[in-house]
């Protein structure tokens, strides 16, 4: 399993699953919006988040997570494995900044989804979980790999 794309994809999918579990718990217990609500609003601005649009958003979220996992592997290959969790979580939090501040400003019509302060913090934490889980897989799941 030396393949950068395969390792990164698996790590990213695991991290995204963790991110979605955190969001799902927030949705079920606190009625917090999920990343899929946000993605649906970016894809279909000012439109209702339907079940079908939510499903599209799940697919897109996991595709983005897989891509982020591949990039994380390349970061480790380029910069080494010292302080891996700091790098993994730091990368995920940098992605959160892109997800919250950059991407919405690239969309011509702003989404109508309004998030409370605590929902934004919840989203930040879930991205940290993504970085932790993806890094955990890349360290433990690919332990036998030399020259990462």
Judged against a pLDDT cut of 50, whether residue 148 lies above it is answered with no
pLDDT tens-place string over residues 63-94: 999 999 999 999 999 999 999 999 999 999 99
pLDDT tens-place string over residues 98-116: 988 787 777 666 656 667 8
Q: How many CB atoms within 10 Å of residue 15?
A: 29
Instruction: Classify residue 147: in a domain, yes or no.
Output: no
User: How many Cα atoms occupy the beta-carbon half-sphere of 36 within 13 Å?
Assistant: 23
Instruction: Classify residue 146: in a domain, yes or no.
Output: no
94-99 LR contacts (CB < 8 Å, sep 24+): 95/68, 95/127, 95/130, 96/123, 96/124, 96/127, 99/38, 99/123, 99/127
Task: Specify the pTM.
Answer: 0.89
Rounded to whole angstroms, the Cα distance separating 24 from 29 reads 8
Instruction: Classify residue 148: in a domain, yes or no.
Output: no
Q: Domain limits at 72?
A: 4-141
Instruction: Classify residue 49: in a domain, yes or no.
Output: yes
pLDDT tens-place string over residues 4-33: 999 999 999 999 999 999 999 999 998 888
Rounded to whole angstroms, the Cα distance separating 11 from 111 reads 30
Q: How many CB atoms within 10 Å of residue 147?
A: 5
User: How many Cα atoms occupy the beta-carbon half-sphere of 86 within 13 Å?
Assistant: 5
How many folded domains does the chain comprise?
Answer: 1
């Amino acid at each position: 399993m030396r393949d950068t794309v395969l390792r990164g994809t698996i790590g990213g999918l695991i991290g995204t699953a963790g991110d979605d579990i955190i969001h799902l718990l927030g949705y079920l217990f606190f009625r917090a919006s999920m990343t899929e609500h946000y993605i649906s609003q970016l894809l279909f601005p000012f439109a209702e988040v339907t079940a079908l649009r939510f499903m599209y958003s799940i697919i897109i979220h996991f595709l983005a997570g897989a891509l982020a996992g591949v990039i994380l592997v390349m970061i480790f290959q380029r910069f080494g494995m010292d302080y891996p969790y700091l790098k993994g979580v730091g990368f995920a939090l940098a992605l959160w900044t892109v997800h919250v501040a950059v991407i919405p400003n690239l969309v011509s019509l702003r989404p109508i989804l309004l998030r409370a302060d605590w929902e934004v913090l919840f989203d930040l934490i879930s991205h940290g979980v993504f970085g932790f889980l993806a890094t955990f897989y890349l360290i433990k799941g690919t332990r036998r790999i030399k020259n990462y």
